[in-house]
Amino acid sequence: MDHVDWKQVLLGTLEDRRLSRSERRAFRQLLEPLMGDRDSLERIRTLAFEIARETIVDPPSGEVLPWLEDVVRTLAFQEPKSTLVEEAFFSPDPACVARILELFRTAKRTADVCVFTITDDRIAEAMIEAHRRGVVVRVISDDEKRRDPGSDIDGLASQGIPVRTDRTADHMHHKYALFDDALLLTGSYNWTRAAANVNDDNFVVTDSPKLLLAFRSHFDRLWQDLATGSPR
């Protein structure tokens, strides 16, 4: 990226859980050489989310969200024509599956999926293609739906994509996904042909730092729980 140790820069501003006016000014000065460099700015943004996730597990971390939002806004100032992402989709409409496919095609580093059921082969194929490109794809799904005819979960696992499911009579009923810790997709939309073609469903896509961090923390907690034997 460059010679700046961005982790130390960010940690230095996090010490008092606030990005002060002077810290914001100094941060912008350091960012000036990266004006318009989306890849470098995205890496710094991802690093800020990683630091916030590590910090939020501590009880005194209540002010980490305002800090994260300040950092994200400062980074956005350096991006060309940066705009807030607030998208809504309603099925049945081909735009729904098209947007999901696009999110996997454009993912660069990570795609964490927490979805009740996946039977739409188009989406499963996009997930596999992303995995083959080097994107770290992880899937959490429902144990009972995994056994349904037409489920793509075992097919994803057979391609080397890590999959974890709950182990209870209840359902893992979430429907959300995180892409590069930069975009969140969430709503009632199951990743099925029925949702695409006949069901009345919805989802939103957003880059809200507060929501990204909340869903990221939830995914990490659930992923860990399912690895250690907890049903949830």
Q: Is 175 a catalytic residue?
A: yes
Of 26, 54, 78, the last residue of a domain is 78
Catalytic residue, candidates 2, 173, 210, 220: 173
User: Is residue 41 domain-shared with residue 119, that is, in the same domain?
Assistant: no
Best-predicted range by mean pLDDT (44-53, 206-215, 220-229): 206-215
**DSSP label at residue 180:** T
CB atoms within 10 A of CB 135: 19
Residue 59's pLDDT is what? 45
Q: Exposed e or buried b for every residue in 12-26, given b needs 16+ CB within 10 A?
A: ebbeeeebeeebbee
Are 179 and 164 in contact, with CB atoms under 8 Å apart? Answer: no
What is the total count of domains within the chain?
2
Domain that holds residue 131: 86-227
CA distance 215 to 194: 26
Q: Which of 99, 142, 121 is nearest to 193 (CA)?
A: 121
Of 69-73, 77-81, 146-150, least confident by mean pLDDT is 77-81
Which residues share a beta bridge with 118? 191
Q: Is residue 180 part of a domain?
A: yes
**One domain for residues 74 and 118:** no
The residues, ordered by sequence, that sit 6+ positions from 124 with a Cβ below 8 Å of its Cβ are: 118, 152, 155, 156
Percent of the chain scoring above 90 in pLDDT: 48
- Of 26-35, 69-78, 136-145, least confident by mean pLDDT is 69-78
- Does residue 1 sit within a domain? no
When the pLDDT of each residue in the chain is averaged and rounded to a whole number, the result is: 87
CATH of the domain at 198: 3.30.870.10
Per the residue annotation, which of 180, 181, 201, 207 is the catalytic one? 180
Torsion of CA 12, 14, 18, 20, to 10 degrees: 10
Same domain, 25 and 103: no
Mean pLDDT of 204-210: 91
More confident residue, 215 or 77: 215
State whether 69 and 108 are in the same domain: no
Distance from chain centroid for Cα 213: 9
Tokens of 52: 């916030």
Handedness of CA 20, 22, 26, 32 (dihedral sign): positive
| In a shared domain, residues 121 and 180 | yes
User: Where a domain ends, among 45, 78, 111?
Assistant: 78
C-alpha–C-alpha distance, residues 181 and 162, integer Å: 18
- Confirm whether 232 is domain-assigned: no
Q: What is the pLDDT of residues 156-176, one digit of tens each?
A: 999 999 999 988 878 899 999
* pLDDT per position as a tens digit, 144-156: 888 888 899 999 9
Which of 131, 152, 175, 201 does the annotation list as catalytic? 175
pLDDT tens column, 129-140? 999 999 999 999
Q: 120 vs 64, which has greater pLDDT?
A: 120
Assigned domain for 12 exists:
yes
pLDDT band at 3 (very low <50, low <70, confident <90, very high): confident
